[in-house]
A and B are shown apart, each in its own frame.
Chain A
């Protein structure tokens, strides 16, 4: 059983459209990270959110951390083909990360 539930599992959109990926848990985390992974490579850290209610922007990506620090969302505006990849959320526990199942995003040209 995944500690973090990610939805949707798969997402295919046209270039220029917007998308949102959700990460939900019944547990409270001290921080939550979002990673993007491309095929055959390791995940790359996108952002860390720490404070409940926090919103962080990274160019076309907007990350939100829920007030109760149990959930988070990733919103991509005007998606590009380079945004294609596996998006993973991860919650920080005592000394290790708990990963969601991942959302495979495909942006079509």
Chain B
């Protein structure tokens, strides 16, 4: 299967600082990547769709100024959590779809963010 790499896997930061999470498709190009947030023992909540070369599409209720998404190349999307607060602590996961198939998603390993 296709490989999606996410970095870092864990990060602890202080309140008020910003954290950047990277999502890379290693063996395919992805014009679209997706960012999810997941709370313990719950499903994935789609935050935004990252589009290469254009603005991200955010889901309702997700603050675009707080969760900055940049998709500068066909293999890299970044999510920056700005001015992080403890309530932003969560598990963030990215995914990408290889080829023309829009249905099968391959996920990164996830990033555990803890804001103290």
* Chain A residues within 8 Å of B, Cβ to Cβ: 2, 30-31, 33, 35, 40-45, 48, 86, 88, 90, 92, 94-97, 99-102, 104
Chain A residues positioned under 8 Å from B4 (CB to CB)? 42
B104 near A33: Cβ-Cβ < 8 Å? yes
Q: How far is the CB of B31 from chain A (nearest CB, A)?
A: 10
Interface residues of B in 27-47 (CB under 8 A from A): 32, 34, 41-44, 46
Count residues on chain B whose CB falls below 8 Å from chain A CBs: 24
Cα distance A27–B101 in the bound complex, in angstroms:
20
17 CB < 8 A contacts A-B = A31-B103, A33-B104, A43-B93, A43-B105, A45-B1, A45-B104, A45-B105, A45-B106, A88-B44, A95-B49, A95-B102, A97-B34, A97-B46, A97-B103, A99-B44, A100-B43, A104-B41
Cα distance A96–B58 in the bound complex, in angstroms:
12
